[in-house]
């Protein structure tokens, strides 16, 4: 008997979530600037037009990628821990996107929340501020302050970590010229990539200490 011809494994039906996750994988591998409907379609083995049924534009596709990133950070808000502890875990997880998805971090830093998924995350995050005892005004202030800190730290993570092992190493990682630049030479050992975790934790310590102080004042 002749052997049976090989049969290709049937392709899974396209879905909004599956397409967004594939887009995130493509960004992780090739960079945000390389993402296009045509390139993503080729990655999935379909024509680009098939994707437009789920995402009418690239902007909406990026919103889907943002949802994927929030899926990874949202669990930090789970549990029965104190609200400030849940908030700290959440902002730590948001910074983690820069470490685990450096090429996609700009999506998190620049996209506005406008999907049902992202608004649900936003609501949970703001509820944690309310659970801690902050009113709307203080919630807005501390949310903006923490978000700005995390975005800045994330950009530094992407820029610093991405250069490790590159053909052209970071000049300041091993800089030492005390005669010309004594302050740079003195400080840069404390700014190296190996110290980024400590610096970020110090920043969160400072911000959350201020939040706790404000809460004590408001409870008087």
Is residue 43 domain-resident?
no
**57 within a domain of the structure (yes/no):** no
CATH of the domain at 92: 1.10.357.10
Residue 101 lies in a domain: yes
Query: What is the per-residue pLDDT across 115-136, written as a single tens digit (0 to 9) for each?
Result: 999 999 999 999 999 999 999 9
In-domain check, residue 50: no
The answer to whether residue 181 is domain-embedded is: yes
Model pTM score: 0.86
Q: Within a domain: residue 45? A: no
The structure tokens listed for 156 are 């530094």
Show the domain range for 86. Answer: 75-219
- Joined together, the tokens standing for residue 207 give 């911000």
Is 56 part of a structural domain of the chain? no
Residue at 169 is within a domain:
yes
- Give the tens place of pLDDT for each residue, 202-216: 999 999 999 999 999
- Listed residue (203, 210, 170) closest to 188, CA to CA: 170
What's the domain count of the chain? Answer: 1
Residue 63 has pLDDT above 50, yes or no: yes
């Amino acid at each position: 008997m002749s052997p049976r011809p090989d049969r290709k494994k049937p392709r899974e039906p396209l879905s909004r979530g599956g397409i967004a996750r594939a887009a995130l994988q493509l960004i992780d591998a090739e960079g945000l600037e390389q993402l296009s409907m045509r390139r993503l379609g080729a990655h999935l083995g379909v024509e680009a037009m098939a994707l437009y049924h789920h995402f009418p534009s690239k902007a909406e596709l990026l919103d889907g990628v943002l949802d994927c990133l929030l899926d990874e950070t949202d669990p930090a808000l789970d549990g029965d821990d104190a609200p400030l502890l849940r908030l700290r875990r959440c902002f730590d997880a948001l910074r983690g996107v820069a470490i685990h998805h450096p090429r996609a971090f700009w999506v998190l830093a620049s996209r506005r929340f406008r999907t049902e998924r992202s608004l649900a995350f936003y609501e949970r995050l703001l509820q944690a501020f309310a659970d801690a005892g902050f009113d709307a005004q203080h919630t807005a202030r501390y949310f903006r302050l923490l978000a700005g800190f995390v975005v800045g730290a994330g950009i530094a993570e992407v820029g610093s970590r991405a250069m490790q092992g590159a053909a052209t190493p970071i000049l300041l990682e091993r800089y030492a010229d005390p005669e010309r630049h004594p302050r740079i030479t003195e400080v840069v050992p404390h700014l190296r990539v190996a110290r980024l975790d400590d610096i970020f934790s110090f920043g969160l310590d400072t911000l959350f200490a201020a939040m706790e102080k404000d809460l004590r004042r408001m409870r008087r």
